[in-house]
């Protein structure tokens, strides 16, 4: 019996010795690996290594830009490490909560990149006029104008520009040759212009940097004039209003068409992101890639 006992003790001690040797060897290998890494900066017992700077410098960056980026990163790392170590000395840190937040942040970075890849690969970015019209019809109250908008023509030209007396006639003409001539004139001589088409534009944006922008009652002005001329010390201003919509009214579809298209596309992106998470979860469940243990 004693012999059997001594054998058990000897085996146990041998296993402990082997385990201890393995731990020593692993620690030594870790220390050797870290020693082989080039140290860039230190804050107390925390070290920043050269291999941790990978990916900071974009391809094609100049030497000056590369140096600036690396220097900024090192300085940022030092400041963050100092704050972290100062915090651990002065407050009690809930490490479990920190780890949860780190996991959430890691997900937000990596998951966001993969979501963008998945969305770019699967997004149908074609939005039909019918989809836009249906969305507009079902949500008209969401498209109340916050500013006055107009359709029309606006031209600002220097006082010394040639043939300024012809501008009004060209603005009212519907002849193709006159429309082309007015466009050519604006390209050659105007300081700013907007030619009539089906698009709507904010009135304030149209007449910015002109005496028209200083009109105190723009609602009354739009109701009173279909054509208006004015001037200042340097420029002549010509305005022809074909149609207008006042603020607090429902926006015309054409004015919000691009906004509606963007809304529809954003909804598709959200649905794709949700679909991605569901697909990953369901596929992992089929493969038994995760398990929840009873507590």
3-state secondary structure 218-246: HHHHHHHCCEEEEECCCEEEEEEEEEEEC
Clarify whether residues 80 and 212 are in a common domain. Answer: no
Q: Lowest mean pLDDT: which of 5-9, 71-75, 247-251, 280-284?
A: 5-9
Clarify whether residues 223 and 265 are in a common domain. Answer: no
Clarify whether residues 199 and 262 are in a common domain. Answer: no
Q: Lowest mean pLDDT: which of 73-87, 167-181, 262-276?
A: 73-87
Average confidence (pLDDT) over 92-99: 87
Q: What is the pLDDT of residues 108-117, one digit of tens each?
A: 899 899 999 9
pTM exceeding the 0.85 threshold for the entire prediction: no
Of the three residues 245, 268, 284, the one that is the final residue of a domain is: 245
| 23 occurs within a structural domain | no
Residue keyed to tokens 């907007």: 194
Clarify whether residues 153 and 236 are in a common domain. Answer: yes
Instruction: Find, among 186, 176, 181, the residue nearest to 154 by Cα.
Output: 186
| 10 occurs within a structural domain | no
As given in the structure block, the two tokens for residue 23 are 């731990």
Total domains in the chain come to: 3
Give the C-alpha separation, 193 to 211, whole Å. Answer: 15
Clarify whether residues 190 and 238 are in a common domain. Answer: yes
Clarify whether residues 154 and 237 are in a common domain. Answer: yes
Clarify whether residues 193 and 166 are in a common domain. Answer: yes
| 56 occurs within a structural domain | yes
Give the C-alpha separation, 135 to 272, whole Å. Answer: 20
| 282 occurs within a structural domain | no
Q: What is the pLDDT of residues 49-73, one digit of tens each?
A: 999 988 888 888 898 888 999 999 9
| 2 occurs within a structural domain | no
Give the C-alpha separation, 170 to 179, whole Å. Answer: 7
| 288 occurs within a structural domain | no
Residue 93 pLDDT greater than 90, yes or no:
no
Clarify whether residues 150 and 239 are in a common domain. Answer: yes
Clarify whether residues 261 and 137 are in a common domain. Answer: yes
Instruction: Find, among 138, 176, 154, the residue nearest to 236 by Cα.
Output: 154
The range of the structural domain enclosing residue 267 comes to: 111-141+251-276
Chain centre to alpha carbon of residue 14: 61
Clarify whether residues 237 and 270 are in a common domain. Answer: no
| 106 occurs within a structural domain | no
Distances (CA, A) of 265 to 138, 270, 274: 17, 9, 14
The enclosing H or E element of 155 equals: strand 149-158
Clarify whether residues 161 and 83 are in a common domain. Answer: no
| 53 occurs within a structural domain | yes
């Amino acid at each position: 019996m004693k012999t059997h006992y001594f054998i058990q003790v000897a085996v146990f001690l041998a296993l402990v010795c082997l385990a201890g040797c393995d731990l020593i060897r692993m620690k030594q290998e870790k220390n050797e690996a870290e020693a082989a890494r080039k140290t860039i900066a230190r804050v107390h017992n925390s070290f920043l290594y050269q291999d941790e700077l990978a990916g900071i410098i974009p391809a094609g960056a100049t030497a000056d830009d590369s140096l600036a980026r690396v220097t900024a990163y090192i300085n940022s790392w030092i400041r963050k490490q100092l704050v972290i170590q100062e915090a651990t000395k002065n407050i009690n840190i809930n490490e479990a909560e920190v780890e949860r937040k780190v996991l959430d942040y890691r997900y937000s970075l990596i998951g966001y990149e993969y979501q963008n890849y998945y969305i770019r690969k699967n997004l149908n970015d074609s939005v039909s006029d019918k989809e836009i019209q249906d969305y507009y019809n079902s949500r008209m109250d969401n498209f109340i104008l916050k500013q006055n908008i107009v359709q029309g023509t606006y031209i600002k030209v220097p006082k010394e520009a040639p043939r300024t007396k012809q501008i009004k006639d060209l603005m009212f003409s519907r002849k193709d040759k006159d429309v082309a001539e007015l466009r050519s004139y604006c390209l050659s001589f105007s300081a700013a212009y907007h030619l009539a088409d089906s698009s709507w534009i904010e009135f304030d944006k149209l007449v910015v940097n002109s005496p028209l922008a200083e009109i105190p009652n723009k609602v009354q002005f739009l109701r009173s004039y279909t054509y208006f001329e004015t001037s200042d010390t340097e420029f002549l201003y010509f305005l022809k209003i074909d149609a207008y919509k006042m603020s607090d009214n429902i926006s015309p579809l054409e004015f919000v068409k691009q906004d509606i298209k963007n809304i529809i596309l954003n909804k598709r992106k959200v649905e794709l992101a949700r679909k991605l998470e569901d697909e990953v979860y369901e596929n992992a469940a089929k493969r038994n890639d995760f398990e929840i243990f009873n507590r």
